[in-house]
Amino acid sequence: MNDNLEEYVSQVARQAKEASRALVTTTGGRKNGWLQLSAERIRSQASTLLAENERDIAKAPEFGLTNAQVDRLRLTPERLEGIAKALEEVAQLPDPIGEIIDSNPRPNGLLVTKVRVPLGVVFFIYESRPNVTVDAAALCVKSGNAVILRGGKEAFHSNMAFYRLLSETLVECGLPEHAVQLVETTDRAAVGAFLKCHNSIDVAIPRGGKSLIERVTQEATMPVIKHFDGVCHVYIDRSADLQMARDILVNSKCHRTGVCNAAESFLVHEEIADEFLKLAGPALLEQGVEIRSDDRVRSVIPEALVATEDDYRTEYLDLKISAKVVDSIEDAIAHINEYGSHHTDVIVTSNFNSARQFTGEVDSAAVLVNASTRFNDGGEFGLGAEIGISTDKFHARGPCGLKELTSYKYVAYGDGQTR
Amino acid sequence: MNDNLEEYVSQVARQAKEASRALVTTTGGRKNGWLQLSAERIRSQASTLLAENERDIAKAPEFGLTNAQVDRLRLTPERLEGIAKALEEVAQLPDPIGEIIDSNPRPNGLLVTKVRVPLGVVFFIYESRPNVTVDAAALCVKSGNAVILRGGKEAFHSNMAFYRLLSETLVECGLPEHAVQLVETTDRAAVGAFLKCHNSIDVAIPRGGKSLIERVTQEATMPVIKHFDGVCHVYIDRSADLQMARDILVNSKCHRTGVCNAAESFLVHEEIADEFLKLAGPALLEQGVEIRSDDRVRSVIPEALVATEDDYRTEYLDLKISAKVVDSIEDAIAHINEYGSHHTDVIVTSNFNSARQFTGEVDSAAVLVNASTRFNDGGEFGLGAEIGISTDKFHARGPCGLKELTSYKYVAYGDGQTR
């Protein structure tokens, strides 16, 4: 069985590599045609897809899924329509491949250009929600990459149903059949085997819990686009519009709590701390937020609990927030760079110099002035769909859309130049 | 001693991280001032630098260096002037940091910008030539990065002399002293210890022989910008100008043989094979080039040796070249993608469709039409100086200049936006 697994993995990887070669020169029109046909098929094959999803739902108790997890797993006609629409939206995005990113006519007449090309083969490992199968396939193929999808066992039948649909439409549209492959075994060892295929696979992208990401980072022999914690801050500067600051803070914390770009901590300048806390404290408490803070905050919001050192490093993903009064913008920046996770941090201010200093010195993937942390998102930033959010600095940082799935090559045109 | 080594390594790494924080907001003027002052000091301290270099030269026999290696190690007044000039050239390059790479005004009024920032800390591992110490320090600091330099033991005294000079000028110019650090031990274990410091070091760049690069790739826990083989091709298409093709081939092979962008193989379309080989064969042989080829080439150039399968995958770095007749451009492209190292490949052609097909389908860092392979170089491509050439696709591909040492962050400006 182990021999069989290795053979299976290397076959899938090899097929992906071959497909990726053909995808390099596939026109945008053909790729978009596939996205549109796939959207139509999702609508026309809704009953099959829902029936397969029902098999996963029926098995959910075996896997010990919580109600919230079962809800994320469930497909409905509305959700299928959303998935089909998402495909159509990816079709609308400009084709990144072939774009001339930069050019340099040299004094000797050589025209040097830098042309966007696909990375090659993406190995995408994810958990539960079956819509991710379709989203990831769409983004990878649109950016000219072949993709090997490894979904969670809880969603196996739903994923297989989507995979069969996408394989059929690929062939019908004249795209390489193996442009999209789903790993058909739930054997955990398969992931390890794929992570060794650095000759065929150009990048691994894990999307899921921390232990999955840690495992992939540990075992991968190819580059990984990874996403760790989102310990995001809202800093309310001395010169902030306090009503605006309250609204941004409440939105950053409460709009959705289980997401990486939700605020987990806020800092307030001591000069306006009393006034702001009197305004923001009740607003947070009203939303059911538990505040964990230093004594200076607690002197104004007696309901706040005592924060430990650990609280300031914690991603609650819940209706909880840590809070602290700082003496200066410098203190705020130092705290954020030290305790934060370099994900998303916000300053609320009316002062130009504060905005300039904060955006310059805070070392995070996204730094916002006078807006909610919740805007750090591929859609909100205008990238179109995103395959994930990177907490790395290398290759891709922040929301990863089509361009982050690409590389480039130099193409130079001459008329006989020699050195 | 081992405890001491670990302590030393973690101190150097920590100091680099701290320095990198200050460098993020250091103005271009200050960085350029340091480059210019350092150039002046190299001129005014030439005698000290040459004396320290002399100590390395005296020790060279102990390390069993070849004459060519001793020559690369040696500093002369002319070479010092070249090093000083190189610093002044880096000062002339535009500052990459703070550049707005992209922007996206969103419908809700949020202005999203993508701003170039430094990667952070570079760990640069290299061999013999002491000028690399200065070049690497210049490129890293200009791009806002702190750098930890690990040179070869053969150049220890020369490197230390440059390092002392650069440390002094950093302090004089108000830059962080630890922006440039040289590893002061030649203990091999130090490299391994640094490669574990992924919390402080953002990228490792090895420059040297294959075994060094393999070791760094193996042991690094942070991203690596690496450079493997350059098995570069010249393909002479059916419609090539044959005189131009001969000149490009001879230049690609013979201009310098020991470099990664020298041609190691050529392919010629069967329709013009006889005519071209009659022209190119004598030209190559006259330069002392040993040709290893298939029978079709040998039928025209009887001096050619028989090529083995291995020859077509070999980076000779010498006056040797493999050769083959191909039946079509498709065969040429398939051969290059299969046997080459995705480094630099050239087509000589007068046909538009051939140029389009070759540049589109050959999967190499640089693909050139009607120009020598030798142009794949940071200087020749107009990037300014280069810290290396990447054979990866992730983050950086081909020549790596200042921009390849950078990342970006999203900075968004609002007036109270919430979701």
CB nearest A360 (choices: B25, B244, B418): B25
pLDDT at B129: 86
- Nearest partner of A336 among A202, A204, A230, judged by Cα: A230
- CB-CB under 8 Å, B203 with A414: no
Crossing angle (nearest 10°) for helices B46-59 and B77-92: 120
Chain B residue numbers with beta carbons less than 8 Å from the beta carbon of A398 are: 409-410
Residue B292 to residue B308: CA distance in whole angstroms: 8
pLDDT at B18: 96
* pLDDT digit string, tens, across residues B154-201: 999 999 999 999 999 999 999 999 999 999 988 889 999 999 999 999
Kindly indicate the confidence band of residue A2, based on its pLDDT and cuts at 50, 70 and 90: low
- CB-CB under 8 Å, B382 with A255: no
Q: Which of A122, A375, A376, A386 to mutate to test the interface with B (most CBs of B within 10 A)?
A: A375
Chain A residue numbers with beta carbons less than 8 Å from the beta carbon of B416 are: 241, 244, 247-248, 370-371
CB nearest B417 (choices: A117, A371, A415): A371
Q: Which domains does chain B have, with CATH numbers?
A: 2-226+400-412 (3.40.605.10), 232-375 (3.40.309.10)
pLDDT at A188: 86
- What order of strands is seen across the sheet that includes strand A121-126? A180-182, A146-150, A121-126, A203-207
pLDDT at A127: 85
Q: Provide the percentage of residues in chain B whose pLDDT is more than 70.
A: 99
Q: What is the residue-wise DSSP string for A43-64?
A: HHTHHHHHHHHHHHHHHGGGGT
Q: Which phi and psi (to 5°) does residue B146 adopt?
A: -85, 150
Containing B277, the helix (H) or strand (E) segment is helix B273-286
pLDDT at A68: 86
**Is the confidence at residue A200, as pLDDT, over 70?**
yes
Chain A residue numbers with beta carbons less than 8 Å from the beta carbon of B110 are: 371, 375, 380
Report angle CA B231, B358, A202 to the nearest 5 degrees.
60
Tokens encoding B92: 């002339």
Q: What is the residue-wise DSSP string for B191-207?
A: HHHHTT-TTT--EEEEE
What's the mean pLDDT when you consider all of chain B?
Answer: 95
Three-state SS across B25-70? CCCHHHHHHHHHHHHHHHHHCHHHHHHHHHHHHHHHHHHCCCHHHH
pLDDT at B227: 86
- CB-CB under 8 Å, B409 with A366: yes
CB nearest A382 (choices: B106, B367, B397): B106
CB nearest B364 (choices: A360, A392, A409): A409
Q: What is the residue-wise DSSP string for B120-161?
A: -EEEEEE-S-THHHHHHHHHHHHTT-EEEEE--GGGHHHHHH
CA–CA min distance A406, chain B (Å): 8
- CB-CB under 8 Å, B418 with A372: yes
* pLDDT digit string, tens, across residues A364-375: 999 999 999 999
Q: Provide the percentage of residues in chain A whose pLDDT is more than 70.
A: 99
> Which amino acid would we find at residue A386?
E
- What order of strands is seen across the sheet that includes strand B180-182? B180-182, B146-150, B121-126, B203-207
CB nearest A202 (choices: B365, B393, B418): B393
CB nearest A119 (choices: B251, B369, B393): B393
Report angle CA B30, B34, B39 to the nearest 5 degrees.
150
* pLDDT digit string, tens, across residues B311-338: 999 999 999 999 999 999 999 999 999 9
Average pLDDT over residues A83-87: 96
pLDDT at A270: 98
- Comparing A51-55, A60-64, A402-406, B234-238, the range with the smallest average pLDDT is A60-64
Average pLDDT over residues A184-192: 90
* pLDDT digit string, tens, across residues B363-409: 999 999 999 999 999 999 999 888 988 999 999 999 999 999 999 99
Residue A360 to residue B115: CA distance in whole angstroms: 10
* pLDDT digit string, tens, across residues A294-318: 999 999 999 999 999 999 999 999 9
- Nearest partner of A165 among A37, A19, A57, A18, judged by Cα: A37
Q: What is the CA radius of gyration of chain A?
A: 24
- Pick the more confident residue, B288 or A229: B288
Q: Cβ distance A251 to A289 under 8 Å?
A: no
Residue A237 to residue A215: CA distance in whole angstroms: 40
- The DSSP letter of residue B260 is T
Q: How many CB atoms lie within 10 A of CB B414?
A: 22
Chain A residue numbers with beta carbons less than 8 Å from the beta carbon of B368 are: 411-414
Chain A residue numbers with beta carbons less than 8 Å from the beta carbon of B372 are: 417-419
pLDDT at B1: 45
> Which amino acid would we find at residue A201?
I
- Nearest partner of A273 among A247, A254, A251, A297, judged by Cα: A297
ipTM for the assembly? 0.94
Residue B148 to residue B153: CA distance in whole angstroms: 15
- Nearest partner of B211 among B197, B228, B198, B223, judged by Cα: B228
Specify the 3-state DSSP secondary structure of A131: helix
HSE-up of residue A32 (Cα within 13 Å, Cβ side): 13
- CB-CB under 8 Å, B381 with A112: yes
- What order of strands is seen across the sheet that includes strand A366-371? A305-306, A290-293, A320-326, A263-269, A232-236, A344-348, A366-371, B406-417, B111-118, B100-105
Three-state SS across B303-316? CCEECCHHHHHCCC
- The DSSP letter of residue A411 is E
CA–CA min distance B335, chain A (Å): 14
Residue A113: CB partners within 8 Å, gap ≥ 6? A100, A102, A103, A104, A410, A411, A412, A413
**Is the confidence at residue B293, as pLDDT, over 50?**
yes
pLDDT at B2: 66
State which residue of chain A sits closest to B254, comparing Cα positions. A419
Q: How many CB atoms lie within 10 A of CB A71?
A: 11
Chain A residue numbers with beta carbons less than 8 Å from the beta carbon of B363 are: 21, 24, 117, 409
Specify the 3-state DSSP secondary structure of A116: strand
* pLDDT digit string, tens, across residues A116-150: 999 999 999 998 789 999 999 999 999 999 999 99
CA–CA min distance B163, chain A (Å): 28
Kindly indicate the confidence band of residue A1, based on its pLDDT and cuts at 50, 70 and 90: very low
State which residue of chain A sits closest to B218, comparing Cα positions. A221
Q: B235 has which bridge partners?
A: B267, B347
- CB-CB under 8 Å, B418 with A251: yes
* pLDDT digit string, tens, across residues B92-106: 999 999 999 999 999
Q: Cβ distance A321 to A266 under 8 Å?
A: yes
Residue B404 to residue B116: CA distance in whole angstroms: 11
- Nearest partner of B20 among B117, B162, B114, B98, judged by Cα: B117
CA–CA min distance B300, chain A (Å): 25
Residue B411 to residue A397: CA distance in whole angstroms: 12
Q: What is the residue-wise DSSP string for A233-297?
A: EEEE-TT--HHHHHHHHHHHHHS-SSSTTSEEEEEEEHHHHHHHHHHHHHHHHHTTPEEEE-HHH
Say if residue A72 is exposed, middle or buried (CB neighbours under 10 Å; 0-12, 13-18, 19+). Answer: middle
Residue B138 to residue B88: CA distance in whole angstroms: 10
